[in-house]
Every structure is written in C-alpha cells, then in structure tokens.
Amino acid sequence: MLVLFLNRTNDKWLTKIEELKNRYENVRFEGYFSNSSPRSFIKDADVIVTGRLSKEEIESSNLKLIIVPMAGVNALDWETIRKRKIMVSNCHANASVVAERALALALSLLGRIVEFDHDLRHGVWHGYSVGSPEEDHWHSLRNRRVCIVGMGHIGEELSKLLQPFNCEIIGVKRSAPKEHSKITSDLDWAIQISDVIFLTLPLTKETKNLFDAQRLHRMKGKYLINVSRGEIIDEKALFEVVKDKTLAGAAIDTWYIYPKSHDEATLPSRYPFNTLKNVVFSPHVGGYTEQGSIGLMNETFNILEKFLKTGEIINLVDPEQEY
C-alpha cells in the first residue's frame, strides 16, 4: 500500500510519518519530504492526503481514499470522485478557532475597531474627545438576533461563543424543517429577522452564489460575516451593497482572488473593497493558529491510522452533498 502526502509537511508531520513507518512496515509513505516530484506517485497511490486533485489526476489513479487535512473539500473534482467511487474524509479539529475568528471579526466590524484604529493613526479622533457626535457610535453585539448559516462544526462552536452576549440565535441548516424556529431551513426568514448573519457553511454546487444580488439587496441594515468561502456570495453584488450601505458592513475572511506565491501582493477582489470603511479584511486565516494546525494534523493521522488498521473510514464526506 502507498500513502502519498501532497500537503505541506513540517517537522511535526515528519515525526508522525516516521512513527507510522515503524508501525506499518508493509506501507510505503511518500511526499515532498522524500521526492521532488511526488505527484508522479498519484497513479500508484492507495491513499492521498491533500485538499486538491484535478480530474485528470483522479482518473489516472486507483485511489481508495482521499484524506483532506482541513474541512473544505471544494477543490476536489467531485464528479470524477463519484464515478470512481473513491471515499473522501475531511478534518474539523480547527472548528473552534474558526468560530473564534468569526466572533472576533464580528466584534471588530460592529465595534468599528479597524476604522477607528486607522483614523487615530492619522490623528483623526472619534467620540467623546470631539464632542460625541452620534455618527461616531459603535455598535454592541449584545442582545442582537444572530443568524448562523450552516450549523456544522463551526456553526455549533460559534453558537457556544455567542451565549455570553445574550444573543438570540437562529441556525440555518439544510436538513432542518422549514418551520420558523431556532433551527430552520428557511434562509430568507432567518435573514429577515436577524441583525447579524454569519456564514459558516461549505461551498458546494448548491451553496455557490447562495447570497446573490437579490438576496443581498434585501439585507438592509444588517452585518455579514463570512468565514466559509468567497464564492458563496456574489462578488459584484456584495461590493455594491456594502458601498451603498444597504449592508451596514461586512467582515470577510474568505475571498475571490488569492496570490500565486507568498511574496505576491494581491488584492483579494476585482472590486475596490479596500476603499470602504465598513469592511473588515482578513486573509483567510480563520483556522490558522498553532492549536488549529496541530489539531488538523492529529485528526488527519487518526483518520489514516484507523484506515490502515481496520479499513474503517471516519469523517466520511457524503459524495452527493459534497460535505
């Protein structure tokens, strides 16, 4: 059996791989740590650890299992995976820190922290010190009605973090009944009655562009926080509703344009969100903490070793739902 690691493997990963080599002498482990061109092994691999595989790569393989060392599985070619009946497992160990980031973004947005920080660095004051104009008010999250779109691991963790703020939480879940309750599948009703909307759902063929121009233009006066994927929201429409202040503001961790290399300066959208004061930027680092990274690594190895020992697969992704 060949297990192929196509993800980044630091010293912590390499230590665990060495431990597996000692326990499973009949299993071969390859990756960038052992070969400069590890993708050449795809056709022979039984298990691949990666978040991204092309249609051609999947078609050339005899894979049994793909382990995605993170939650997002949208960079895989699902049509080919379904045809080839390949199993996919993913990881959720960083859900709590992604939820923490979502809360931090909401507090920054409603609290106008980034805006006031920027202004004061240029000598511009707000609030009591300049006569307390009402337009300088920041806004508390306390006692707000909050909608969490996507009640998976991140949504559940976020719900716990919001409890001390005495928020009324409406969770939107596809499998929930349509009835108007604390957990519902009626997205438009949940948005309509809420002040703050968090997006914590996966990107699938059903959720792509879920927040289109029509839906966004109905969100007057609301705050939108996205820690899921950029493509869930129509890019142009989002810029328009933030610019004209239909939306009170947006805090965004997941975007539309990403750099091709670590030293490339890249704005994250085709539209000038960076000119708007009511937008908080975050460079897709929701789960990027030491605790989150170690958690994902440990969960990846738990999935892999369970498969090597018993053939059982935990955290199995539904190929039809793609999450």
Residue 263 has pLDDT above 90, yes or no: no
Indicate whether 262 pLDDT > 90. no
Same fold, 2-93+290-310 and 95-281: yes
Contact (CB, 8 A) for 199 and 228: yes
198: three-class secondary structure by DSSP:
strand
Confidence bin at 272 (pLDDT 50/70/90): very high
Rounded to whole angstroms, the Cα distance separating 144 from 141 reads 6
Q: Report domain extents, the chain.
A: 2-93+290-310, 95-281
Q: How many CB atoms lie within 10 A of CB 126?
A: 17
Cα–Cα dist 170/281, whole Å: 25
What does the pLDDT look like over 136-185, one tens digit per residue?
999 999 999 999 999 999 999 999 999 999 999 999 999 999 999 999 99
Nearest CA-CA partner of 228 in 204, 249, 205: 204
Cα–Cα distance measured from residue 100 to residue 54, given in angstroms and rounded to the nearest whole number: 32
28: three-class secondary structure by DSSP: strand
Strand partners, 199: 149, 226
d(CA 116, CA 127): 10
pTM above 0.75, yes or no: yes
Domain 2-93+290-310 architecture: 3-Layer(aba) Sandwich (3.40)
Instruction: Note the pLDDT tens digit of each residue in 192-233.
Output: 999 999 999 999 999 999 999 999 999 999 999 999 999 999
Element at 169 (helix H, strand E)? strand 168-172
Class of domain 95-281: alpha beta
Please report how the helices 113-121 and 95-110 are oriented relative to each other, as an axis angle in degrees rounded to 10.
60
Element (H, E) at 309: helix 290-310
